[in-house]
Structures are given as C-alpha cells and as structure tokens.
Structure 1
Amino acid sequence: MISIAIQGLRGGVGVSSVVAALGHALQSQGERVLLVDMCPENLLRLHCNQPVADGSGWARATLDGEGWKAWGWSVLPNLHVLPYGRLSEAEQGRLELHLRRTPQLWRSLQASLARSFDWVLFDLPQRLVGHAQIGACDLSIRLLEADPACHALLRQTPLRPQEWLLVNRYDPGCQLQRDLLLVWQQLLGQRLLVQSVHRDTAMREALANKHPVGAHAPGSLAAQDALGLARWCLERRQLPAVVGALLDAESGEGGRS
C-alpha cells in the first residue's frame, strides 16, 4: 500500500478537490483507493455523493467510542471515502488533544488498511498538528497556487524532507502566474512537479454535482491533469530509491525557496 499526504501551503488552495480527483484517477487505472478526510470542515465527502446532512465519520466515531470502519463510503468500485464527520468546535478541540497524545493511532490504522487498499490519500488540515499525525507517508505533496501569498509563504516555510510541490488552479493566460512558475522552477528544482492542475470550471461543477471531476467531466482539462498526476504517482511506486535520491540531492542544495 502507498500512502499520500496532501496538504495546502495555505488555506483555500483546493486540497479536497485535488484529493478526490487524484483518487478517482488512480481508481480509473485499476487501483484500490481510500480517501481519508482529516479536516474538521468535512468537505471531502461532498465530492463523493455523501448526503450533506449526514454527520458520520471517523472523528465522530472516535469521540463516540465506536468502530470507525463502519463509516466508510463506497463511491465507485475500488474507490472509498472515509469522512471526518460533524463535530462541534469544542469536540474538535478534544479530538485534537487526543490525537496529540496518541500519535501512534493513525500509524496503526495505516497498517490495518494495507490489506484492503493499494493507495490511501490523506486530506490534511492546515493548522491542527494532532490531526496531521498520520505516521510516515510514502509521498508528501504540498499544494499551492501561483499567487503572491503562496510565493511569500514559500520563502518562510521550511519544506519537509522528500516533499513535492504541486501547483493547482494554474492559468497559463495569466502573466503573473507564468512568471511565478518560472521563478519557482529555478528555486525549487525537482521538488516542483512538472504536472500542474489547471484552472477549470469543471472542478467547481463537479463539486456541485457531488462527484470527482474525472467522473463528472472525464474530458475536462482538470480531469486529464489528475490522470497525469495519477500516472506520476504510479511511476513513483516503481522508483522509490530514485525519488529519495533526487529529493535528498535537492535538500543538499538548499531545499527551500
């Protein structure tokens, strides 16, 4: 099983949409995929046709002392989602404290999932350290947009070892975005994925229809980008040693913008 942690460099960069799109793209290649929402906003489920009013999920089950596996949803054959669930602000705080005190929780859960899935994709929150303690992942992707805010954050945010950067909502018609991408290519080297996810109204339309973009509009640019990202992930599964060597070399040359 390969686990992927996907987190935004800042809030609002479209992590849940990309997680859903990538999960569907991997499933379309014959892989068994589980999407896990670690965010209290509980939005990933809305890409997977779960009723808006349904408040079930792993976080809700954890606080209620119930088994969390019963709350997974089948989206398509071999594509499943594990929602976060609906919690009050106070309950979110309690769960965060619990997860900080038991960092081994998701590590052991990952091990149990290996029997049923080829890929587990984690939608990580921006600020909750405990919620992001999911154990070691095979791939770590930081999502960003080509805008001045992300550029400033890149200059002050240490990159994790062996972490990749993916540009979302890229608009090649925008001069500023083209310029920033050129700067990032020079500063970040191999860490910046060649594959970007282009700005595409199909992404918003897919969420409105409660489906991953590849299921809603398979011919859309965003869906094709997600498929390209899925193929990149499949290649990484075959080349773990090469990937580690590349990123280690980048770290030796600076590793941060």
Structure 2
Amino acid sequence: MTTLFISDLHLDPQRPHIVDLYTELLAGEARRANALYILGDLFESWIGDDDDAALAARVAEATRALRDSGVPVWFMHGNRDFLLGADYAARAGMTVLADPSVIELGGERVLLMHGDTLCTDDVEYLKFRALVRDPRWQAQFLAKPLAERRAFAAQARGESRKHTSAAKPEIMDVNQEAVAAAMRAHGVHKLIHGHTHRPATHHFDLDGRLAERVVLGDWYEQDSVVRIDQAPPR
C-alpha cells in the first residue's frame, strides 16, 4: 500500500490549473492509496469556515469524496490556513492532525510537521506566528465581516512576499539544531515536513544513527507528491 504526502498547494482561484491537479489526484491515484496526508497550506489563505467562496466548496466536495471512497484524509494546519476549523474539516471529510504528530509507517515511527516552527532563524516570522495563533486574536479576527477579513488576508500575503524576497535565503530554511531537537523530543529518526518549498531528502547523523528528513514540494507551478510504499500486514 502507498501513503501519499502533500503540502503547500496554496490553492487559489488565480491558479485554477493547480486546483484541477489537486482534484485529479483525489479522483485518481489517491483512490488507491492507504491514506492521504496534507501537511499544511492547502489554501493560499483561509479567512474562516464561513467563507462562501466557490473554491472552498469545490475543495471540500472533492476531498470528502476521497474520504467517502474509503481513503482517510489527514490535515495539518500550515502558516496560511491555520484558521481552518472543525466545521470545514468535517465538510471536507478531513481529520485534523496536531503539529507535530508521530505516526507509524511501515513499522517505523515518523514525525510529521508543517515545518515553519523549524525555521527558528526567521525571528520576525515567529513573532507574527505567535500573534496570529493567539486564541484571542483569532476570535477577534473571525468576528470581523468577510470583506474585511479578505482585505487583511490580501495585505498579509503582500507582506509575506516582501519578507521572503528581502530575507537571506538561509533564514527561510529550517535550522538543523531545531530539526535534531524535534526528532530527539519525539524519539524518531525520520521527519516529513513542508513549508520551505525546497523538496529534497536529507540524510544526517543523529546521535549515532542515520536520520532522514523528507521535505515536500510546493504546488505553485506543478503538483508534488511524496509516495511511501509499505508492505501490507501478513
């Protein structure tokens, strides 16, 4: 059986071909998978479960159809869709997964993360993250009219682009000490994450054992799926 991992799709009406690639994955290959894990940033932005945009409805319908076919769909919040709540997750047939979480894959414990908390050198981003993850801030934001929330999201995306273009490239990547600390804390030697948009598989020594970090790719220009095969139980 194959387990599929994706992240950083950043689904947006302005990139309809990416939305098509996602729905094609759900209607095709994913139907034969053991499970689908979405490790954050499914959407370019999320302003609340009461969003009446057509994109939200289409994605929920397609994702729910996969779950109804018998394939579990696990969703982890990213830095763009951290406001996605229980109502929408239920509509889409997704089970929300805490960040971080450990799963068993082929008899091995594997740590799953979105990846943004590993970028400890990006101090300004972590300050912003702490602000918007505060329950009081979220309650105040979600109480605003949809139009006001959409305007805020557009402004935040613009600020994010400015920050990304101005920051040193190494600041935007994970900190290796943070990676090692997270893996030690959860007793694992394999980590799968997204966020950095730098797809690769990294091998390194962790306390005398070979460790592996798998980085998922983004979907800005094309699809990107990591497939991990595991033998069915005998």
**Common topology (TM > 0.5):** no
Q: TM-score, normalised by structure 1?
A: 0.30
Richer in helix (by share): 1
Richer in strand (by share): 2
Q: TM-score, normalised by structure 2?
A: 0.32
